[in-house]
């Protein structure tokens, strides 16, 4: 039998041969033709922050604020920042102090990443990468500052 080229819906009056390989156009694809137009590119660019002071200076006014958000007093927070800021990536738009505050706020208060992103004007993905980076840095460079009891003592004091 002759195979006829078929496009769109079949003509019911013309006898055609169809086998398992025949593919019909899907009308659902034709419903949304606006997506097939020219691509529009957004001309917006990110403007560097006009902040001259870190966000931490506005949020952490005293020990009570610092304890609430980070779990450590203000002097210890400033000391931690001074020890860790040399490890900050140079590509970051925010100062190391704000990134460390962001990390400690997540650890202490369990803020949702989207809330932290909105607060710091970052994308949630960037907040997630920042948290991973700073948690690793803090782990590596502060482990000697955290006094751990010997394992034997810990096991002996565990509830039965």
* For range 15-43, the mean pLDDT: 60
CB atoms within 10 A of CB 6: 16
27 or 47, higher pLDDT: 27
Secondary structure element (H or E) that encloses residue 115, with its range: helix 113-120
Integer-rounded Cα radius of gyration of the chain: 30
CB atoms within 10 A of CB 55: 19
Q: Give me the pLDDT at residue 129, please.
A: 94
Q: Give me the pLDDT at residue 145, please.
A: 77
113 or 146, higher pLDDT: 113
What pTM does this model have? 0.60
Q: What is the pLDDT of residues 94-128, one digit of tens each?
A: 899 999 999 999 999 989 999 999 888 889 999 99
Q: Give me the pLDDT at residue 17, please.
A: 55
Secondary structure element (H or E) that encloses residue 154, with its range: helix 151-157
Q: What is the pLDDT of residues 127-141, one digit of tens each?
A: 999 999 999 999 888
When mean pLDDT is compared across 2-11, 72-81, 88-97, the lowest value belongs to: 2-11
Rounded to whole angstroms, how far apart are CA atoms 48 and 40? 24
Rounded to whole angstroms, how far apart are CA atoms 38 and 40? 6
């Amino acid at each position: 039998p002759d195979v006829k080229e078929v496009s769109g819906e079949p003509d019911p009056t013309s006898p055609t041969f169809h086998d398992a390989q025949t593919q019909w156009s899907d009308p659902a694809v034709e419903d949304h033709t606006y997506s097939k137009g020219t691509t529009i590119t957004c001309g917006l660019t990110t403007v560097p922050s006009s902040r001259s002071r870190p966000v931490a200076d506005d949020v952490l006014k005293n020990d009570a604020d610092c304890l609430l958000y980070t779990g450590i007093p203000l002097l210890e927070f400033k000391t931690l920042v001074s020890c860790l800021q040399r490890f900050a990536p140079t590509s970051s738009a925010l100062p190391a102090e704000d990134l460390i505050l962001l990390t400690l706020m997540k650890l202490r208060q369990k803020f949702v990443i989207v809330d932290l992103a909105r607060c710091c004007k970052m994308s949630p993905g960037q907040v997630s990468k920042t948290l991973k980076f700073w948690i690793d840095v803090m782990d590596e460079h502060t482990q000697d500052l955290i006094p751990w009891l010997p394992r034997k003592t810990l096991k002996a004091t565990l509830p039965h």
